[in-house]
Chain A
Amino acid sequence: GENVEQHPSTLSVQEGDSAVIKCTYSDSASNYFPWYKQELGKRPQLIIDIRSNVGEKKDQRIAVTLNKTAKHFSLHITETQPEDSAVYFCAASKGGSYIPTFGRGTSLIVHP
């Protein structure tokens, strides 16, 4: 089955800095890559996703890049704010009837 590795497990940045979280996947047939944000005590919520026919996608301060050849994708957050502090999960799926496999999560801490 699919295996998703996520790094780093913890990321500490100063407010205003950029943050990058990286994931690799094992199944070359995977074609859907969502990112979820989970605030403390809350449910995971989708913040951005990308499909394999696209190399990059942006939504305001967040962006995701995908390198299909290397089988890795990354989440970029610019101008970080304290409210960005949360656990971020990447996932990979073959789409359709397949259920996504999640990475182990990255705890992002943004210091004011």
Chain B
Amino acid sequence: NAGVTQTPKFQVLKTGQSMTLQCAQDMNHEYMSWYRQDPGMGLRLIHYSVGAGITDQGEVPNGYNVSRSTTEDFPLRLLSAAPSQTSVYFCASRPGQTTDTQYFGPGTRLTVL
């Protein structure tokens, strides 16, 4: 199993550009989440999904959209990038409601100029 994968590893955007951060897992996990990590701020939840077709907002959802059309994929979309979205983004998955352990992807480092 590849586990949780994320692409790209690094990305530089200009203010106002749009892009999609990709996240995929091959473990048939029901739950998937997106976090952003900023210095001194820990891991803050952006959006999460408890199954295909079901998504919900986390602590810091503004400026981000998600969808979950398949169990495997959970892309994060930035519609109009802002410098405040410069961060490291982590995707995570866990098997389901009865298992609490989360598995993180390798992260995407995004810089918005």
Nearest-Cβ distance from residue B87 to partner chain A, whole angstroms: 14
Q: Is A112 an interface residue (CB 8 A)?
A: no
Query: Is A95 at the interface (CB under 8 A from chain B)?
Result: yes
Which of A13-21, A55-63, A65-73, A96-104 has 4 or more CB atoms under 8 Å from chain B?
A96-104
Cβ contact within 8 Å between B104 and A105: no
What's the least CB distance linking A104 to chain B, in Å?
Answer: 4
C-alpha spacing A9/B40, complex, angstroms? 8
**Complex interface residues of chain B between 16 and 41 (CB less than 8 A to chain A):** 31, 33, 35, 40-41
B30 to A: closest C-beta gap in Å: 10
For the A-B complex, the count of residue pairs with Cβ-Cβ distances under 8 Å equals 49
Are B50 and A97 in touch, CB under 8 angstroms?
Answer: yes
Residues of B within 8 A of A93 (CB): 100
State whether B42 touches A97 (Cβ < 8 A).
no
Bound Cα distance A93, B92 (Å)? 15
Q: Is the CB of B97 within 8 A of A96?
A: yes
Q: Which of B40, B102, B105 contacts A100 (CB 8 A)?
A: B102
**Complex: how many Å from CA A79 to CA B9?**
35
> Do A43 and B101 touch (CB < 8 A)?
no
Residue in contact with A43 in the complex, picked from B50, B58, B90, CB distance below 8 Å: B90
Q: Across the interface, which residues of A come within 8 angstroms of B58, CB to CB?
A: 99
Q: Which of B42, B90, B100, B106 contacts A95 (CB 8 A)?
A: B100
B92-104 contact mask (Cβ, 8 Å, vs A): 1 or 0: 0000011011101
Does any Cβ of A come within 8 Å of B48's Cβ? Answer: yes
Q: Are B42 and A103 in contact (CB under 8 A)?
A: yes
Q: For residues 36 through 87 of chain A, which have their beta carbon under 8 Å from a beta carbon of chain B?
A: 42-46, 49
A65 to chain B, nearest CB (A): 19
In order of increasing CB-CB distance, the 6 nearest A-B pairs are: A104-B42, A43-B104, A102-B43, A102-B42, A32-B100, A44-B104
